[in-house]
């Protein structure tokens, strides 16, 4: 069938229009290709010529400077120092063994380091630089640079390495860095290419670990041209990385160093809290270790020595260790009972030296008993029977609620390793965890901080801070990040009856300042700085009826690891509290004898901002304190000599 002329004309017009569109598109593509060819052949000719000639362009990652860590006064407690090292790129080296043999003729390198480096090169990509040796002298670097043509793939570099000027004094708080290991790579979900650089340092413990992403920064890049033998001819491009952020902690490094020195010879932990903002002025655990040992990789000998020490120097006892709080828990029991109204502050309980509960006898520390005793006297003289009775009235659940309100049984959010939650037991806990019903004897034990109750020195210091202020004081370790103030730990009101809190504080005051108080020998003599506190002794073994029958064996007659723990919590000044603290001495015996004197000395150091005058101490101990101050002051570093990012 013949098509009409009109249709033929319309079809021809459509074909012409499509041809124009296709032609225009083809012309655009050809034009774009032409422009790109011109750009590559003329404008970028030098760059592509270099890339084409034997792959002579290398791109290297530039590790950023790690952020510094300062104390509250701006003193560096984790700094950086220059470190000369030699690295090898296996891809450029050719015969690795031959090149390393030539290198060892120029520089003295530990054979163990060579073996480790060769193993590292087999695990890494051939273009990744592997550190052969570090902490070289300038003369070593000069010899390597002069002989570079004979050392393909070898390059001397200068970088930064971590250093801790205050050594062991800040070890458990700041922690330490170390080279990235295969274990680190397997357990962290971090795609940062910096972690692929052999011996790149990351935080392994403490604040260094918990603030890793804040301190690390971002990598830069360096584009270099090398000749046929691997010699660097020139640097083509450099983009500097972004340095890590600086962090200022709340620690007072001089107070921290004093506390660490005062705990010397003990296995102990101590915490000092600023009541104005929750700042942790000191967090000390003894014994400690030198974190600088870990920066370059600790030796087997040092590692074994630290691990086999029965005093556990690697353990951060101040935040990680948990202990039965003993009589320091009595304020919790008292506040729970007084707030619940099951007893008044003036009501008395008779203490004959023991309390019978369904045929089981619970003893007071004073075998002859305290007689009729009220709240004030029960805390001042640390009567156990008073709390046995009070606890049965109020019950464990309300005691547990009060304990948590005061900061016990809570894992406080701090950038530290292994912060413990402790244990504040109640009926539900025992049913879920142990599959058993709660018994009245459990409540009686808990009333004096024994049984299942566990607390860390950090938690005990928080408890003392909250009793002293009536506020929900929260511990704070980071003060500033790159100059930006972090949230305060001041806290809101706990909602407790202020009159009841005053009665408890007055009782704690008499613990230290009344002749019959259990810590009277560790009192502060200056009226404006009077300290209020509470002693505690927690058993680590059960005293059997047979032992009681023949006379309980004293702590001094037992092996160290079977002796009681000594505890003390306090705040000062009593009239206007500024600091709260806790001290726990593992297997130290009685809290009044072992922990209270340490706490007094630390509190005075915090209040005076340095060595206090001798007239702040009881006359009987002034000669001893004078000798102690001389010894400790000689040990405290005057400041930091470490450099920053230079």
DSSP-assigned letters across all residues of 514-541: STTSTTGGG----GGG--EEEEEEE-SS
pLDDT number for residue 642 = 37
Does 643 score more than 50 pLDDT? no
Residue 118 is predicted with a pLDDT of 83
* Kind plus residue range of the DSSP H or E element containing 323: none
pLDDT for 644 equals: 40
Region 610-638: mean pLDDT is 92
Where b means 16+ CB within 10 Å and e means fewer, 151-182 reads bbbbbbeebbbbbbbbbbbbbbbbbbbbbbee
- Decide which of 120 and 482 is more confident: 482
Comparing CA positions, the residue from 457, 467, 537 lying closest to residue 507 is 467
Q: What is the pLDDT of residue 645?
A: 40
Cβ density class 107-119: b for 16+ within 10 Å, e for less: bebeeeebebbbe
Mean pLDDT over each residue of the chain, to the nearest integer: 88
Assess whether pLDDT exceeds 50 at residue 349: yes
Q: Percentage of the chain with pLDDT > 90?
A: 62
Q: Is the pLDDT of residue 270 over 90?
A: yes
In the structure, what pLDDT confidence band is assigned to residue 41 with cuts at 50, 70 and 90? low
Q: pLDDT at position 641, please? A: 38
Strand partners, 176: 205
Helix count and strand count (H, E) for the chain: 25, 21
Mean pLDDT, residues 390-396:
97
DSSP letters of 127-160? TS-EEEEES--HHHHHHHHHTGGGSTTEEEEEEE
Question: What's the pLDDT band for 180 if we cut at 50, 70, 90?
Answer: confident
Of residues 377 and 551, more confidence is placed in 377
**DSSP strands (E only) in 213-279:** 220-226, 232-239, 247-249, 268-274
Least confident of 12-26, 380-394, 446-460: 12-26
The rounded distance, in Å, linking the Cα atoms of 445 and 425 is: 11
CA 453 to chain centre: 24
Which of 288 and 99 is assigned the larger pLDDT? 288
User: For residue 318, what are its two tokens?
Assistant: 């101040």
Indicate whether 566 pLDDT > 50. Answer: yes
**Amino acid 544: pLDDT:** 62
Q: Is the pLDDT of residue 55 over 60?
A: no
If pLDDT is split at 50, 70 and 90, which confidence band does 80 have? very high
pLDDT at 388 over 70: yes
Pull the structure tokens for residue 277: 């903002």
**How far is 388 from 169, CA to CA, in rounded Å?**
41
Residue 14, SS3 per DSSP:
helix
Give residue 570's pLDDT band: very low, low, confident or very high (50, 70, 90). very high
| pLDDT surpasses 90 at 104 | no
| Whole-number pLDDT of residue 548 | 55
**What pLDDT is attached to residue 230?**
53
More confident residue, 440 or 12: 440
Q: Are 366 and 382 in contact (CB under 8 A)?
A: no
Indicate whether 341 pLDDT > 90: yes
Q: Which residue has the higher pLDDT, 461 or 639?
A: 461
Return d(Cα 423, Cα 288) in angstroms, integer: 26
- Single out the residue of 76, 84, 97 nearest to residue 167, CA to CA: 76
* pLDDT, position 48: 58
How large is the average pLDDT for residues 396-412? 97
Structure tokens at 226: 């090398």
Q: What is the mean pLDDT of residues 338-351?
A: 97
Please determine, for residue 297, whether its predicted confidence score (pLDDT) is greater than 70: yes
Mean pLDDT across the stretch 421-428? 97
Per-residue pLDDT, 15: 66
The confidence score (pLDDT) of residue 438 equals 96
Judge contact between 380 and 345, C-beta under 8 A: no
Catalytic residues: 327
With cut-offs at 50, 70 and 90, classify the pLDDT of residue 50. Answer: low
| Domains present along the chain, CATH in parentheses | 62-249 (3.90.1310.10), 253-635 (3.40.710.10)
In total, the chain counts a number of residues equal to 646
Give residue 209's pLDDT.
Answer: 95
Which pLDDT belongs to residue 212? Answer: 94
pLDDT tens digit sequence for 134-161: 888 888 888 888 888 888 888 888 888 8
Tell me, what's the pLDDT at 152?
Answer: 86
What is the Cα gyration radius of the chain? 34
Residues 6+ apart with CB under 8 A from 246: 67, 68, 69, 70, 480, 481, 482, 483
Of 117-126, 284-293, 385-394, minimum mean pLDDT range: 117-126
Report the pLDDT value the prediction gives residue 199, as an integer from 0 to 100. 74
pLDDT confidence of residue 511: 98
Q: What is the pLDDT of residue 42?
A: 66
The alpha carbon dihedral of 508, 513, 518, 519 has a sign of positive
- The CA distance from 643 to 646, in Å, is 7
Q: Are strands 565-572 and 579-585 parallel, antiparallel or unpaired?
A: antiparallel
pLDDT tier at 646, thresholds 50, 70, 90:
very low
Q: With 70 as the cut, is the pLDDT of residue 543 above it? A: no
Distance CA 330, CA 43 (A): 82
For residues 195-224, average pLDDT: 87
What is the mean pLDDT of the segment spanning 265-289? 97
pLDDT band at residue 640, thresholds of 50, 70 and 90? very low
What are the pLDDT digits (tens) for 494-537? Answer: 999 999 999 999 999 999 999 999 999 999 999 999 999 999 99
Render pLDDT for 1-26 as a digit per residue (tens, 0 to 9).
556 666 666 666 666 666 676 767 77
* Token output for 600: 């007094």
Q: What is the percent of the chain where pLDDT is above 70?
A: 88
The 3-state DSSP class for residue 380 equals helix
């Amino acid at each position: 069938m013949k098509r009409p002329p009109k249709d033929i004309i319309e079809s021809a017009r459509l074909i012409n229009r499509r041809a124009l569109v296709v032609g225009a598109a083809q012309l655009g593509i050809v034009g774009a290709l032409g422009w790109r060819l011109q750009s590559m052949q003329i404008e970028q000719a030098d760059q592509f010529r270099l890339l084409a000639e034997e792959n002579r362009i290398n791109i290297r990652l530039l590790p950023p400077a790690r952020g510094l860590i300062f104390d509250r006064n701006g003193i560096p407690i984790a700094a950086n120092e220059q470190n000369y090292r030699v690295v090898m790129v296996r891809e450029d080296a050719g015969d690795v063994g031959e090149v390393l043999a030539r290198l060892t003729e120029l520089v003295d390198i530990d054979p163990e380091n060579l073996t480790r480096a060769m193993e590292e090169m087999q695990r890494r990509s051939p273009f990744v630089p592997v550190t052969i040796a570090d902490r070289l002298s300038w003369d070593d670097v000069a010899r390597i640079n002069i002989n570079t043509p004979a050392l393909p793939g070898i390059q001397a570099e200068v970088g930064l390495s971590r250093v801790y000027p205050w050594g062991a004094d800040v070890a458990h708080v700041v922690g330490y860095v170390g080279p990235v290991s295969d274990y680190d790579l397997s357990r962290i979900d971090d795609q940062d290419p910096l972690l692929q650089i052999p011996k790149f340092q990351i935080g392994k413990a403490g604040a260094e670990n918990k603030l890793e992403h804040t301190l690390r920064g971002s990598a830069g890049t360096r584009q270099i041209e090398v000749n046929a033998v691997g010699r660097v001819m020139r640097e083509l491009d450099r983009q500097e990385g972004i340095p890590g952020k600086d962090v200022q902690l709340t620690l007072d490094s001089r107070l921290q160093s004093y506390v660490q020195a005062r705990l010397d010879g003990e296995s102990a932990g101590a915490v000092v809290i600023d009541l104005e903002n929750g700042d942790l002025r000191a967090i000390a655990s003894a014994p400690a270790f030198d974190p600088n040992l870990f920066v370059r990789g600790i030796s087997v000998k040092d590692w074994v020595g630290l691990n086999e020490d029965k005093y556990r120097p690697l353990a951060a006892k101040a935040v990680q260790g948990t202990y039965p709080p003993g009589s320091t828990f009595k304020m919790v029991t008292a506040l729970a009972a007084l707030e619940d109204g099951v007893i008044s502050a003036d009501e008395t309980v008779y203490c004959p030296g023991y309390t019978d509960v369904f045929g089981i006898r619970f003893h007071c520390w004073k075998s002859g008993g305290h007689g009729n005793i009220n709240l004030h006297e029960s805390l001042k003289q640390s009567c156990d029977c008073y709390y046995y009775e009070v606890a049965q009235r109020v019950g464990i659940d309300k005691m547990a609620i009060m304990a948590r309100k005061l900061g016990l049984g809570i894992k406080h959010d701090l950038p530290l390793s292994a912060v413990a939650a402790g244990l504040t037991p109640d009926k539900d806990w025992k049913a879920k965890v142990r599959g058993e019903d709660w018994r009245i004897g459990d409540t009686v034990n808990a009333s004096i901080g024994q049984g299942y109750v566990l607390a860390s020195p950090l938690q005990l210091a928080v408890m003392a801070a909250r009793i002293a202020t009536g506020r929900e004081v929260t511990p704070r370790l980071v003060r500033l990040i790159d100059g930006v103030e972090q949230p305060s730990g001041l806290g809101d009101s706990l909602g407790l009856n202020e009159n009841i809190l005053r009665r408890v504080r007055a009782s704690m005051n008499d613990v230290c300042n009344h002749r019959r108080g259990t810590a009277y020998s560790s009192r502060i003599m200056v009226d404006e700085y009077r300290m209020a506190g509470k002693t505690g002794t927690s058993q680590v073994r059960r005293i059997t009826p047979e032992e009681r029958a023949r006379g309980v064996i004293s702590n001094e007659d037992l092996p160290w690891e079977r002796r009681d723990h000594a505890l003390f919590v306090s705040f000062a000044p009593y009239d206007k509290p500024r600091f709260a603290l806790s001290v726990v001495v593992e297997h130290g015996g009685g809290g009044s004898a072992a922990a209270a004197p340490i706490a007094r000395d630390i509190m005075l150091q915090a209040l005076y901002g340095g060595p206090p005058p001798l007239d702040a101490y009881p006359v009987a101990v002034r000669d001893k304190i004078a000798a102690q101050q001389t010894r400790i002051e000689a040990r405290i570093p005057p400041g930091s000599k470490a450099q920053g990012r230079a």
